[in-house]
A and B are shown apart, each in its own frame.
Chain A
Amino acid sequence: MTRSWHTMVRSPFTRWAIIMPLLMCIVVTIFGVLAFRETQRALINEFQTALREEVLNLELLYREEGFTALKKSIDRRAHQDETQRVYLLTNARGEYIAGNLKIWPRNVPIRDDAEATFIDPTTGEKVAAEVILLYGDNQLLVGRRAIHEQVARHLIQNYLWLCALMLFSATAAGLLFSRAIQKRLAAIHHTANTIRLGHQQSRIALAGSNDEIDGVIVELNALLDQQEKLLTYARQSSSAIAHDLRQPLSLLRGKLLEIGTEPQQDVLVKQEALAQLDQILAMFSAILRLGRLESGAQALQLETIDLKVLAEDVVELYQPLIEDAGHTLTLSGEHCIIAIDRELIFAALCNLIENANRYGQSQIDVLISPQAITVRDYGQGVAQSDLDRLSEPFFKAESSRNSAGHGLGLALVKAIAELHGGHLILRNAEPGFMATLQLAS
Chain B
Amino acid sequence: MRILLVEDQLQQAQYTQKALQEGGHTVDHAAEGRTGLFMATTENYDAIVLDRMLPLVDGLTILRTLRASDNKTPILLLSALGEPDDRVEGLRAGADDYLSKPFHSAELLARIEVITRRSQMASTTDTSKLQLADLELDRLARTVRRAGKLIDLQPREYQLLEFLLRHAGQVVTRTMLLEGVWNYHFDPNTNVIDVHMSKLRAKIDGDQPRPLLHTVRGAGYRMGEK
Q: Which residues of A contact B (CB under 8 A)?
A: 271, 274, 278, 281-282, 284-285, 288-289, 291-292, 297-299, 301, 313, 316-318, 320-321, 324, 342-343, 346-347, 350, 354
The complex places the Cα of A354 from the Cα of B188 at a distance, in Å, of: 10
Q: Can you list the 6 inter-chain pairs with the closest CB atoms, starting with the nearest?
A: A320-B195, A321-B195, A288-B82, A347-B186, A321-B192, A297-B84
For the complex formed, measure the closest distance between the CB of A356 and the CB atoms of chain B, giving whole angstroms: 12
Min C-beta distance of A410 to chain B, whole Å = 13
A343 touches B82 (CB 8 A): no
- Residue positions of B touching A, CB distance < 8 A: 81-86, 88, 100, 102, 104, 156, 182, 184-192, 195-196, 199, 217-218
> Which partner residue on chain B sits nearest A284 by CB separation?
B102
CA distance A284 to B82 in the complex (A): 10
Measured between beta carbons, the chain A residues less than 8 angstroms from B104 are: 278
20 A–B pairs (Cβ distance < 8 Å), ordered by A? A274-B218, A281-B102, A282-B189, A285-B102, A288-B82, A292-B82, A292-B85, A298-B84, A298-B85, A299-B84, A313-B182, A317-B182, A317-B188, A317-B192, A318-B192, A320-B195, A320-B199, A321-B191, A342-B184, A354-B190
Q: Are B190 and A321 in contact (CB under 8 A)?
A: yes
A346, B186: Cβ atoms closer than 8 Å:
yes
A271 engages B190 (CB within 8 Å): no
A343 with B186, Cβ < 8 A, contacts A274-B218, A318-B192, A321-B195 known: yes
Which A residues are CB-close (under 8 A) to B199?
320
Cα-based distance from A318 to B83 in the complex (angstroms): 29
- A320 neighbours in B (Cβ, 8 Å): 192, 195-196, 199
Contact indicator B195/A324 (Cβ below 8 Å): yes
Contacts of A342 in B (CB 8 A): 184
Q: How far is the CA of A41 from the CA of B226 in the complex (A)?
A: 125
A266 to B83, CA, bound (A): 37
Distance in Å from the Cβ of A122 to the closest Cβ of chain B?
102
Query: Which residue of B is nearest A280, CB measured?
Result: B102
Pair B189/A291 contact, Cβ less than 8 Å: no
Least Cβ–Cβ distance between B11 and chain A, in angstroms: 15
B84 touches A292 (CB 8 A): yes
CB distance from B97 to the nearest CB of A (A): 16
Judge whether A291 and B82 touch: CB under 8 Å. yes
Other than the given A281-B102, A298-B86, 16 more pairs (CB < 8 A) read A291-B82, A292-B82, A292-B83, A297-B84, A298-B84, A298-B85, A301-B88, A317-B182, A317-B196, A318-B192, A343-B186, A346-B184, A346-B186, A347-B184, A350-B188, A350-B192
Asked if A271 contacts B82 (CB within 8 A), the reply is: no
- A377 CB, nearest partner CB in chain B, Å: 16
Q: Which residues of A contact B86 (CB under 8 A)?
A: 298-299
| Neighbouring B residues of A299 by C-beta, 8 Å | 84, 86
CB atoms of B190 and A289 under 8 A apart:
no
Query: Do residues A343 and B184 form an inter-chain contact, with CB atoms below 8 A?
Result: yes
Q: How far is the CA of A346 from the CA of B184 in the complex (A)?
A: 8
Residues of A close to B195: CB separation below 8 A = 320-321, 324
Q: What's the least CB distance linking A22 to chain B, in Å? A: 59
Known A-B contacts A318-B192, A324-B195; A343 and B81 likewise in contact (beta carbons under 8 Å): no
Chain B residues with CB under 8 A of A271: 217-218
Within the complex, the shortest CB–CB distance from B107 to chain A, in Å, comes to 11
Residues of chain A within 8 A of B196, CB atoms compared = 317, 320
A350 to B182, CA, bound (A): 13
Cα A430 to Cα B81 in complex, Å, equals: 42
B-side contacts of A285, CB under 8 Å: 100, 102, 187
B residues within 8 A CB of A282?
Answer: 187, 189
CB distance from B207 to the nearest CB of A (A): 20
Across the interface, do B83 and A297 meet the contact criterion of CB distance under 8 Å? yes
Q: Do A343 and B84 touch (CB < 8 A)?
A: no
> How long is the Cα–Cα vector from A313 to B196 in the complex, in angstroms?
13
In the complex, which residues of chain A have a beta carbon less than 8 angstroms from the beta carbon of B88? 301
Q: What distance in Å separates the Cβ of A283 from its nearest Cβ neighbour in chain B? A: 10
Output the residue of B86, B156, B185, B190 with the most chain A CB within 10 A. Answer: B190
Question: A346: which B residues are within 8 A, CB to CB?
Answer: 184, 186
Q: Is the CB of A313 within 8 A of B184?
A: yes
Q: How far is the CA of A328 from the CA of B188 in the complex (A)?
A: 20
Chain B residues near A289: list those with CB within 8 A: 85
Shortest C-beta distance, A270 to chain B (Å), equals: 9
| C-alpha gap A233/B102 in the complex (Å) | 25
Enumerate chain A residues within 8 angstroms of B81, measured Cβ to Cβ: 288
CB distance from A242 to the nearest CB of B (A): 18
* Contact partners of A347 in chain B: CB under 8 A: 184, 186
Per the bound structure, the CA–CA distance linking A434 and B88 in Å amounts to 33
Tell me the smallest distance from the CB of A322 to a CB of chain B, in Å.
9
| Nearest A residue (CB) for B186 | A347
Considering only CB atoms, which chain B residue lies closest to A351 in the complex? Answer: B189
Smallest Cβ distance from B4 to chain A, in angstroms? 26
- The CA of A274 and the CA of B107, in the complex, are separated in Å by 14
CA distance A298 to B195 in the complex (A): 31
Residues on B with beta carbons closer than 8 Å to the beta carbon of A274: 218
> Bound complex: CA of A320 vs CA of B191, how far in Å?
10
A350-B192 Cα distance, complex, nearest whole Å:
10
Closest to A346 in B: B184
In the bound complex, how far is the Cα of B86 from the Cα of A292, in angstroms? 11
**Given A274-B218, A316-B156, A343-B185 contact (CB < 8 Å):** yes
Residues from chain A with a CB closer than 8 A to the CB of B185 are 343
